[in-house]
């Protein structure tokens, strides 16, 4: 980096000196810009420019890859969040089932039938909730 900075400084000094020493004629002033520079400086600038141009596709590819990784990370975090919400719903349903089973006596047939109907009702409600969440998550991913 220091080599490029010193080369640029020398280039500016050489150009200013050449312009000040040149007569007012247009041809000589324009020819001094390339003749007054040492070949090493011209070569260093050319190599630096070629190197910058050569590295540009790799830099852009790395930026695209980092953006893709970032987006994938966000999608995975979103999936984990949805899974945690569904696990909480399942836990609440299991707790309700256990409470219903605990409250019913095993000798009472009517109570067992009622418990079966309640469990079936809860399963249908859970299916509707899960279908609604699945529909929302598909719509969010499409956007």
pLDDT band at 50 (very low <50, low <70, confident <90, very high): confident
**Alpha carbon distance 119, 112 (integer Å):** 10
Q: What is the 3-state secondary structure (H, E, C) of 94-124?
A: HHHHHHHHHHCCCCCHHHHHHHHHHHHHHHH
For the chain, domain boundaries: 38-142
Residue-level pLDDT at 84 = 93
Higher pLDDT, 70 or 125: 70
Q: For 78-128, what is each residue's pLDDT tens digit?
A: 999 999 998 998 898 888 878 877 776 666 777 778 878 888 888 888 888
**Alpha carbon distance 101, 123 (integer Å):** 15
Q: Report CA 8 to chain centroid distance, whole Å.
A: 37
Higher pLDDT, 137 or 94: 94
What are phi and psi for residue 24, nearest 5 degrees?
A: -70, 0
Q: Which residues of 88-119 are buried (b: 16+ CB within 10 A; e: fewer)?
A: eeeeebeeeeeebeeebeeeeeeeeeebeeee
Question: What token pair was written down for 100?
Answer: 């219903």
**Alpha carbon distance 25, 19 (integer Å):** 11
Q: Is pLDDT above 80 for 1?
A: no
Higher pLDDT, 139 or 31: 139
Q: What is the mean pLDDT of residues 44-71?
A: 86
> Which of 49, 54, 44, 53 is closest to 4 using CA atoms?
44
């Amino acid at each position: 980096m220091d080599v490029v900075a010193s080369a640029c400084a020398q280039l500016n000094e050489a150009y200013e000196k050449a312009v000040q020493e040149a007569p007012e004629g247009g041809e000589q002033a324009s020819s001094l810009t390339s003749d007054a520079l040492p070949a090493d400086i011209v070569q260093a600038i050319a190599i630096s420019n070629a190197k910058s141009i050569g590295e540009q596709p790799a830099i852009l590819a790395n930026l695209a890859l980092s953006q893709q990784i970032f987006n994938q990370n966000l999608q995975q975090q979103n999936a984990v969040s949805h899974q945690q919400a569904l696990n909480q719903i399942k836990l609440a349903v299991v707790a309700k089932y256990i409470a219903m089973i605990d409250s019913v006596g095993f000798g009472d047939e009517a109570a067992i039938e009622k418990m079966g109907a309640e469990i079936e009702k809860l399963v249908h409600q859970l299916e509707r909730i899960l279908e609604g969440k699945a529909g929302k998550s598909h719509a969010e991913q499409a956007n």
